[in-house]
Amino acid sequence: MPIRDDVLVVGGGLAAATSALAAAETGKSVRVVAHKKSTLRQASGLIDVLGYVEGEGPRADPYAAMADLPADHPYRVVGEEGVREGLRLFDEAVGGMYAGGHTDANALVPTYGGTVKPTARYPASVEPGLASVAEDTLFVGFEGTTDFAPRVVADHVAAAGVPFETRGVRVPFPKAFRDDARVTRFAKALDEDESADDRSVGVRRALAETVKDRLDGEDRVGFPAMLGDAHDDEVRAELSDRLGATVFEVPTGPPSLLGLKLEDRLFDALDEAGVRIATGNPAVGYESDDGEIEAVYVDRQGKRVPYHAEQFVLATGGLVGKGIDSDRESVTEPVFDCHVPHPDDRYDWSESAAFGDHAFARFGVVPDEELRPTTAGGEPHFSNLRAAGGVVGGADVAREHSASGVSLATAAVAGGRAGEEA
């Protein structure tokens, strides 16, 4: 029997999950087909909507800042209503895992590099460390790890002009691991309160005792985001109690435990919504008739397997996620061969300045008001195909700090419209 659904979403990241949730809300049958693991595990776990416009910021109100964006920006296509709808879907999917939904304003979150990042949603474990809270802060890193330098973090946060004193120290983790131990290994030790190396106490108590000796009147203590996984609330509460100071997590670089947790929660939400999920096989082509897609072909061990649907959403990511491909001559969208505008001269794809206004950062398909990818002439490639997330062009999401917001907003509109039309 052929595989058939009302809506088929191609992709596996934040935009794909949100598109599927939006489509499922309409009561239609939805399936997600994804090739590789989500890039969420490489992300910080923060949900940025809009922090900078043309390099200027940070902007306190992302919605007010949208008026300054160019007309082809995805936010201008979906409007403020689309952004708010994307955040609603996200808030309902993650529940109490995240904070920030109480206000339209950006929060300022210290990160592992010491930057203070404007963001709209942030894990609850991060919330006590917001830069707007005037409490002296001790940043703690672990000896033997290289991706969190507490003194550098403290100095950079202080240089941002925060209203509190900062300090950084590095301490030994109470249990020795291999030099290449993953962040999840530290989290597991705290989750299960494994015995410290001296076996006299558990690692939670041993860690608290070590850090308490380094406290100098600070009100709160920030650790890299590895304070447990399944029992993270319990770990932070115990450390806070033993230290007599509020404990919070600082978002880290890849691999990110906060990103992994978000990925797990979103896929749980998809299960709860009845969305079918097929992973591990790439989309390699499509079948169409009279301007409509009829099926997407997936490569399953060398065999082309068709997935049929009434409506389709393309959410394969941008250049980083390989949803947009490039060589020395051209830029392409590899699944449906949708038009991706770009300068003919490759030297015009980028600027000489490392953080300049690079054209390649905005490469992607050009959507119409229905988020259907359009041809060079401005007509939809297919009447039943919509695009969401990084594959949509027009935004320099890294420079703007808008990647998650663009994914959520375009996915909410694309997925919702697909469900309504199916």
Considering the domain architecture, whether residues 343 and 389 belong to the same structural domain is answered as yes
Number of domains in the chain: 2
- The confidence score (pLDDT) of residue 329 equals 82
Residue 105 lies in a domain: no
Residue 115 lies in a domain: no
Residue 192 belongs to a domain with what CATH number? 3.40.50
Whole-prediction pTM value? Answer: 0.94
Considering the domain architecture, whether residues 265 and 233 belong to the same structural domain is answered as no
Residue 323 lies in a domain: yes
Considering the domain architecture, whether residues 237 and 156 belong to the same structural domain is answered as yes
Residue 108 lies in a domain: no
Residue 382 belongs to a domain with what CATH number? 3.50.50.60
Residue 110 lies in a domain: no
Considering the domain architecture, whether residues 218 and 275 belong to the same structural domain is answered as no
- Domain boundary residue, one of 224, 250, 276: 250
pLDDT tens digits for 93-132? 999 999 999 999 999 999 998 899 999 999 999 999 999 9
- Domain boundary residue, one of 250, 273, 293: 250
Contact 62, 104 (CB under 8 A): yes
- The confidence score (pLDDT) of residue 17 equals 97
Where do the H-state alpha helices sit in 137-222? 150-159, 183-191, 203-212
Residue 214 gets which letter from DSSP?
T
- Domain boundary residue, one of 202, 227, 250: 250
pLDDT tens digits for 269-328? 999 999 999 988 899 999 999 999 999 999 998 999 999 999 999 999 988 788 999 888
- CA distances for 261 relative to 28, 72, 75, 159, 182, angstroms: 27, 33, 27, 31, 15
Residue 294 contacts by C-beta under 8 Å, 6 or more apart in sequence?
Answer: 286, 287, 288, 308
Considering the domain architecture, whether residues 282 and 376 belong to the same structural domain is answered as yes
Considering the domain architecture, whether residues 292 and 241 belong to the same structural domain is answered as no
Considering the domain architecture, whether residues 375 and 275 belong to the same structural domain is answered as yes
CA–CA distance, 78 with 414 (Å, rounded to integer) = 9
Considering the domain architecture, whether residues 309 and 358 belong to the same structural domain is answered as yes
Residue 104 lies in a domain: no
Considering the domain architecture, whether residues 302 and 409 belong to the same structural domain is answered as yes
Considering the domain architecture, whether residues 179 and 326 belong to the same structural domain is answered as no
Considering the domain architecture, whether residues 410 and 263 belong to the same structural domain is answered as yes
Considering the domain architecture, whether residues 269 and 402 belong to the same structural domain is answered as yes
Query: What residue ranges of the chain have pLDDT lower than 50?
Result: none
CA–CA distance, 335 with 145 (Å, rounded to integer) = 40
**At CA 185, angle to CA 182 and CA 188, rounded to 5?**
150
Question: Can you give the residue range of the structural domain that contains 151?
Answer: 127-250
Residue 377 lies in a domain: yes
Residue 183 lies in a domain: yes
- CA distances for 98 relative to 104, 250, 408, 411, angstroms: 15, 14, 15, 19
